[in-house]
Amino acid sequence: MILIVTNGRDLTSDFVVLELQRRGLPYFRLNTETLPAARVRFGGGSLDWSLETAHRSLVGQDVRAAYFRRPGPPSPDEDLQGGHRDYCVAEWNALLKSLYTRLDGLWLNAPWAILRAEDKPHQLQRAAKLGFDIPATVITNDLATAVALAQQAPSIVKPLRKALVEGKAEQVVFTSRWDAFSPVDERAMAAAPIIVQHEVPKQADIRVTVVGDQLFPVAIDSQATAETEVDWRKGSDPNLAHGLVTLPDDVAERCRALVRGLDLKFGAIDLILGQDGKYWFLEINPNGQWAWIQQRTGAPIAEAIVDALLEIAG
């Protein structure tokens, strides 16, 4: 049995489910927001646990591999309000953590490995040691430090971790060019750390989806429009060209080594193919989206993920 831990709106997991169904393989999709509606039992042994929903049941000894995708917060009964609701959510989250620990050794990417790998300063250090080209970078909330770097060469700014400002006026924080000679509110700058980085003139953005030793590198024609030059996600053009490419052998091996070194079996690496012909490392998302790449290019990523899960299952 392959366990998928995610939420009900996660379309990426749908691709894995379809591939499992195509092969006739048993699976259980746990949408964690619905967990409070289940009946659970956890005993002392690592395999001594079970959960039962209105439609299916799962016991610990049947799980042979697991894919940690995008679990949602458990949602208790709507009658619970205030502190009582918060208490129940905390208890369900504690149970989920116990479940994750009991699945140690069965994960495609373990939750704790994902958490460690999300550390962007650590990513940059590891990538540099592997020989990747890295743009000059500083992570700071100090205006003078940021200006000192940005005055050396044209620069961009981007979030350290969270790219979404939530609330009534929800806002996506895209990577943006920064004019270091324009006035900046020092107090606003001090409010949170940001990444300041020298801008690399691009030929294209390269997204490398790594599954085990398999690579699925895709060139995104970000320079086709002014809107997408700096951050290809900013464009509203649904026809922005995506094409499968082949990486130089040394760059491909660095991608594999980076994923292995972070104790992962999956990673989504963002590179820039510079106008200088170099492949510049930006970051790795240890739990990144990939379904749109499969849709746009036909890259068999879901197949590779199921293969990797079957290898774990033994």
One pLDDT digit (tens) per residue for the chain, 314 residues: 999 999 999 999 999 999 999 999 999 999 999 999 999 999 988 899 999 988 899 999 999 999 999 999 999 887 778 888 999 999 999 999 999 999 999 999 999 999 999 999 999 999 999 999 999 999 999 999 999 999 999 999 999 987 767 776 677 788 999 887 778 888 888 999 999 999 999 999 999 999 999 999 999 999 998 889 998 888 766 788 999 999 999 999 999 999 999 999 999 999 999 999 999 999 999 999 999 999 999 999 999 999 999 999 99
Q: How confident is the model at residue 236, as a pLDDT?
A: 61
CATH 3.40.440.10 fits 116-132+201-313, yes or no: no
- Cα 204 to Cα 189: distance, rounded to the nearest angstrom: 30
Q: Is 55 exposed, middle or buried (0-12, 13-18, 19+ CB in 10 A)?
A: exposed
Chain CA centroid to CA 13, Å:
13
Q: Is the dihedral of CA 230, 291, 5, 2 positive or negative?
A: negative
Contact 7, 31 (CB under 8 A): yes
Domain residue extents for the chain: 2-107, 116-132+201-313, 137-198
